[in-house]
Amino acid sequence: MKAVQDSLLAPSRFKVWEPLLWLLAFAAPWVFPGHALIVNEIAIVALFALSLDLILGYAGVVSLGHAAFFGFGAYTAALFAKLVMPDPLAGLLVGMAGATVLGAVCSLTILRGSDLTRLMVTLGMALILLELANKLDWLTGGSDGLQGVVMGPVLGRFEFDLMGQTSAWYSLSVLLGLFVLARRWVHSPLGATLKALRDNPLRAMAIGINVQLRLAVVYTVAAGVAGAAGALLAQTSGFASLDVFALDRSADVMLMLVIGGVGWLYGGVLGAVVFKLLHDVISGITPQYWTFWIGLFLVVLVLVGRDRLRKPWSWFGKPKAHGESA
Amino acid sequence: MLTLLFDGIAYGMLLFILAVGLSVTMGLMNFINLAHGAFAMLGGYLTVVLMQRYGVPFLLCLPIAFAGAGLLGAVLERTLYRPMYKKPHLDQVLFSIGLAFMSVAATDYFMGSQQQIMQLPDGLRGRTELWTGGPFELGMGHYRLFIIAVCAALTVGLQYILAKTRFGSRLRASVDDARVAAGLGINVNLVFAATFAVGSGLAGLGGALGAEVLGLDPTFPLKFMVYFLIVVAVGGTSSITGPLLAALLLGVADVAGKYYVPKLGAFIVYSLMLVILLWRPQGLFVRKGGKS
């Protein structure tokens, strides 16, 4: 009995390397102060990828419009800082709350229909918000972006500096906090039911799981996490522009998640690191045409099979039958 | 008033020609292809280059655009697309969006990022006004009239092929249930390759026709991807009348929306799509009994 319990709980326990990884991450802005800004960016997109992983990797919803919540969180946090109070933590909570409410409303739209319908509905939502942010220029600044956002110090003590060290530690702390919560959550019984309905919704329904409710819950939570990522971006850059809603952002985050591995919380983090470094290197060589190489990478990745990226031992030898269920 | 309706119909017809190939291929193999706009862009650029650099007349460019895009479609279908059919939708989305990104960057590299200008032949320029001054004033651009005529002829032709010919009945059987169709001795792969090529060719033709109306620059595949997908998602994938009506609805709504409430822009179209998909998630015009 004990052995069974242990083997079931093993995946949810913290591994030895996990605290080390986080220590390294937190040490990075201190060791390389010149790269603190990119650490900050990586932490933000990692959080965004984490939120997409919750719905794509754990619940199997293909979304092309996850930037809707990212952007909504960004604009909410920026407006809150500009109009109400400049405290970052309060702004973060408000951004998250706004995106969560939006996610709860939007979750009604993804419950029915096929993958194509969901794709269109999520994409449509992001486009509608993009249009709104563009047209409501008295509130959002339109295509010039929302400027003049001045943030107060974090916790009343740590000012945001030009080097971005405070930003990096702030974003990393939020990432760590939400990561631990998400980790706890996907290993709970609720998380197990999510995986069940991803693998086979019909059977999940037959054993008494309320599929629609679960989908709505996970979509709402993921929206809140994406909103937190957006709020972090707006706060640390002091700026919110229309590109937070853009299709590129939704596509990029999906690519990150796929590089790192879907259905595995570290996938988003790992993918964000690889993607950002890759972006830095390629756009250093060809700034204008870097989307070509990203596109080529995607095509080749899918053609050879994306599970094989993380299993180098399967590169040589015969490809096995594709085991994933559609 | 009527002028708006006319422009909307011309726009809708164009969208239909651009998207009909996507709709049929999606219904046939349940494959989500986000790179469909790349074929349309190829047709548009072929026409522009042939007209500007080699002085080929416009009317001759249209079949060339059709053939060029169709050929590329057939080659890509055989080499790249075919292994994708059995993969999960996530893989298909990633694959085709990767192709779209590549086409955008490659066009930018070879052709430059500026908007391409299309010189129409003299016979197609100009405008006819009917009932001027009255409440039903109708101004028809000759080029739009031409677009409507070409697209209507194509629609009738497609409907005839689909409904009356042997190939059409094979195609319909394959859309309804590919496995049973294969069991009855229909070569589904061949049917699909042909359909994919023709669909890509139609997209190329639409791109050539639409270069003047829709504008042509390297971001074309991404900019109009949403519109094509709306046509397919709203119209359903089981017939061609569904996408036709959806495209007309979309065209009229877009033109009228941009005219009456320019401040809202494309907002109306997206909201309309959202509402329709919430109301009928499988699309507006679905035939019962087919395999979804």
What is the full DSSP assignment across B106-149?
A: HHHHHH-SSPP-----GGG--EEEESTTSTT-EEEEHHHHHHHH
Q: Is the confidence metric ipTM above 0.85 for this complex? A: no
CATH code at B157? 1.10.3470
- Residue B130 forms part of a structural domain: yes
- Residues in a beta bridge with B140: B128
Judge whether B137 is closer than 8 Å to chain A, CB to CB. Answer: no
A109 to chain B: which residues are within 8 Å by CB? 274, 277-278
Range of the domain at B137: 2-279
- Count the residues in chain A: 326
Distance from CA of B26 to the nearest CA of A (A): 10
Compare CB distances from B263 to A120, A135, A289 and report the shortest one's residue: A135
A117 to chain B: which residues are within 8 Å by CB? 233, 277, 281-282
Taken in order A263, A265, A268, A274, is the CA torsion positive or negative? negative
Judge whether B279 is closer than 8 Å to chain A, CB to CB. Answer: no
For residue B28, which of B227, B232, B248 has the smallest C-alpha distance?
B232
- Residue B140 forms part of a structural domain: yes
> Cβ of A159: how many Cβ atoms within 10 Å?
9
Distance from CA of B87 to the nearest CA of A (A): 7
- Residue B290 forms part of a structural domain: no
Compare CB distances from A302 to B95, B263, B270 and report the shortest one's residue: B95
Q: Once rounded to an integer, what is the mean pLDDT over residues B15-21?
A: 87
In order along its 326 residues, chain A shows pLDDT tens digits of 678 877 777 777 777 787 888 888 888 878 887 778 888 888 999 999 999 998 888 888 888 889 999 999 999 998 888 888 888 888 899 999 999 999 998 888 888 777 778 888 888 888 888 888 888 877 777 777 777 777 777 776 677 776 778 888 889 999 999 998 998 888 888 888 888 888 888 888 888 888 888 889 999 999 999 999 999 998 888 888 888 888 888 888 888 888 888 878 888 888 888 888 888 888 788 777 777 888 888 888 888 777 666 666 555 554 444 444 33
**Which residue type is seen at A255?**
L
Which H or E run contains A254?
Answer: helix A247-260
End-to-end CA distance of chain A: 35
- Residue B110 forms part of a structural domain: yes
Compare CB distances from A289 to B105, B266, B270 and report the shortest one's residue: B105
- Looking at chain B, the number of H-run helices and the number of E-run strands are 11, 2
Taken in order A47, A53, A54, A55, is the CA torsion positive or negative? positive
Q: Please state the pTM of the whole predicted model.
A: 0.83
For residue A11, which of A295, A293, A265, A318 has the smallest C-alpha distance?
A265
Compare CB distances from B98 to A56, A127, A298 and report the shortest one's residue: A298
Judge whether B62 is closer than 8 Å to chain A, CB to CB. Answer: no
For residue A248, which of B210, B105, B276 has the smallest C-alpha distance?
B105
Which H or E run contains B141?
Answer: strand B138-141
Q: How far apart are CA A178 and CA B170, in angstroms?
A: 54
Number of domains, chain B: 1
Residue A140 is encoded by which pair of tokens? 């959002």
Provide the pLDDT for residue A69: 93
Cross-chain Cβ contact B105/A292 below 8 Å: yes
Cross-chain Cβ contact B105/A291 below 8 Å: yes
Residues in B 102-121 with any Cβ partner in A closer than 8 A: 102-106, 108-109
Residue B9 is encoded by which pair of tokens? 């119909």
- Residue pointed to by tokens 């590549």: B102
Distance from CA of A300 to the nearest CA of B (A): 8
DSSP state of B128: E
Closest-CA residue of B relative to A253 is B94
A247 to chain B: which residues are within 8 Å by CB? 222
Cross-chain Cβ contact B89/A115 below 8 Å: yes
List of long-range contacts for A267-272, beta carbons under 8 Å, 24+ apart = A267/A49, A267/A53, A267/A57, A268/A46, A268/A47, A268/A48, A268/A49, A268/A50, A268/A51, A268/A52, A268/A53, A269/A46, A269/A49, A269/A50, A269/A175, A269/A179, A271/A49, A272/A42, A272/A45, A272/A46, A272/A48, A272/A49
- Residue B216 forms part of a structural domain: yes
For residue B102, which of A262, A299, A61, A207 has the smallest C-alpha distance?
A299
- Residue B289 forms part of a structural domain: no
Cross-chain Cβ contact B274/A123 below 8 Å: no
Predicted confidence band of residue B119 (pLDDT cuts 50, 70, 90): confident
Taking only the tens place, the pLDDT of each residue in B237-274 is 767 788 888 888 888 888 888 788 777 767 778 888 88
> Cβ of A227: how many Cβ atoms within 10 Å?
33
Closest-CA residue of B relative to A113 is B281
> Cβ of B57: how many Cβ atoms within 10 Å?
10
- Residue B17 forms part of a structural domain: yes
- Residue B288 forms part of a structural domain: no
Provide the pLDDT for residue A281: 83
Distance from CA of B235 to the nearest CA of A (A): 11
